[in-house]
Amino acid sequence: MEKASYIDGHTTLYCLLGHPARHSISPRMHTTAAKLLGVNMVYLAFDIEPNEIGITVEALRLLQAGGFNLTMPFKRTVIPYLDRITKASALSGAVNTVINKDGVLIGDTTDGIGYLDSLLDSGFDYHGKKMTLLGAGGAATSIAVSAALSGVKRIDIFKRKNKTYEETEAFAERINSSTDCDVLVFPMDDSDAMQDSIASSDLLTNATNVGMEDDKTSLVPKKFLRPDLFVSDIIYHPAETTLLSYARECGCRYKNGEDMLLFQGAASFKEWTGLHMPVEAIKKLVF
């Protein structure tokens, strides 16, 4: 197939909706993959205000976009504007990928699978392991669902004790009743519980936005880490958050969110085009 290196009247639009969104490397990733595979598409990033999600979704439907991704803060708020969602999205309550099937918008979540694939790609086998998961937003719930369905034995979720805390507890109960994984929820400010959880965990995952951009804070003190703990952060900008700098200083294996972005993007690309993204080539060209 001839490589697509042009835009014409048949080019299909795909995009990312977020706030912020301009920092994303998803446009380069998807457009590069499309060129390598000869797919006539373009992928852009749109930074929209939180109250604009509904009108934006309808505009994309009207423009016959092939699909789109969602990042913070839209992974939950987009759901009422879609025609249907997959079982994984229903269980997690989050959508990061939308497929346009002849005007019918279908929401799915590829965050969790992308995250797990990135761990395996780094040589970390999560099967039968315990995870401490920070956060309960769209990415966090998707990670928890996929981890529970894929063989993680225990997940401790730490969340701010606000008005959605009970929703997270109900989410944990749904996972417990439908998988072989045990999920517990703790307040984010319960320092003793967090220290105990991390001490008995194989994997620590930050799935919040703490540490993004110019934020130099960490939800986890350095003293909670130990060399045999695998530490991951779904943030990739900056490449090394304060949490990951602590992990490096403590001798932990660690990774940021770039590979999660790559593998969740590959899963989205497959749903949109039916083609496998050339991930090794994308690693070299984009990451």
Per DSSP, the three-state class of 255 is strand
Residue 96 lies in a domain: yes
Count Cα neighbours of 36 within 13 Å in the Cβ-side half-sphere.
Answer: 18
Can you give the pLDDT at residue 138? 85
Q: What is the pLDDT of residues 172-181, one digit of tens each?
A: 999 999 899 9
Can you give the pLDDT at residue 2? 47
Residue 143 lies in a domain: yes
Looking at the fold, whether 45 and 124 belong to one and the same domain comes out as no
Question: 89-124: string of b/e by CB count within 10 Å (b at 16+)?
Answer: bbbbbbbbbbbbeeeebbbbbbbbbbbbbbbeeeeb
Retrieve residue 89's tokens. 């999205």
What residues make up the domain containing 237? 112-256
How many Å separate Cα 272 from the centre of its chain? 17
Contact 97, 75 (CB under 8 A): no
Sign of CA dihedral 278, 280, 286, 287: positive
Q: What is the pLDDT of residues 37-50, one digit of tens each?
A: 999 999 999 999 99
Residue 217 lies in a domain: yes
Looking at the fold, whether 140 and 222 belong to one and the same domain comes out as yes
Residue 4 lies in a domain: no
| CATH number where 157 lies | 3.40.50.720
Looking at the fold, whether 137 and 38 belong to one and the same domain comes out as no
Compute how many other C-beta atoms are within 10 angstroms of the C-beta atom of residue 53. Answer: 19
* Mean pLDDT of the region 137-144: 92
Query: How many structural domains are present in the chain?
Result: 2
Looking at the fold, whether 241 and 270 belong to one and the same domain comes out as no
Q: Which residues are the active-site residues?
A: 75
The yes-or-no verdict on residue 1 having pLDDT over 70 is no
| CATH number where 51 lies | 3.40.50.10860
pTM for the model:
0.85
Looking at the fold, whether 168 and 34 belong to one and the same domain comes out as no
Looking at the fold, whether 98 and 196 belong to one and the same domain comes out as no
Residue 208 lies in a domain: yes
Looking at the fold, whether 151 and 249 belong to one and the same domain comes out as yes
Residue 132 lies in a domain: yes
The yes-or-no verdict on residue 162 having pLDDT over 70 is yes
Q: Which amino acid is at 282?
A: I
Looking at the fold, whether 117 and 249 belong to one and the same domain comes out as yes
Q: What is the pLDDT of residues 193-242, one digit of tens each?
A: 999 999 999 999 999 999 999 999 999 999 999 999 999 999 988 999 99
Looking at the fold, whether 116 and 252 belong to one and the same domain comes out as yes
Can you give the pLDDT at residue 91? 87
Residue 6 lies in a domain: no
Looking at the fold, whether 153 and 186 belong to one and the same domain comes out as yes
Give 114's strand partners: none
Residue 7 lies in a domain: no
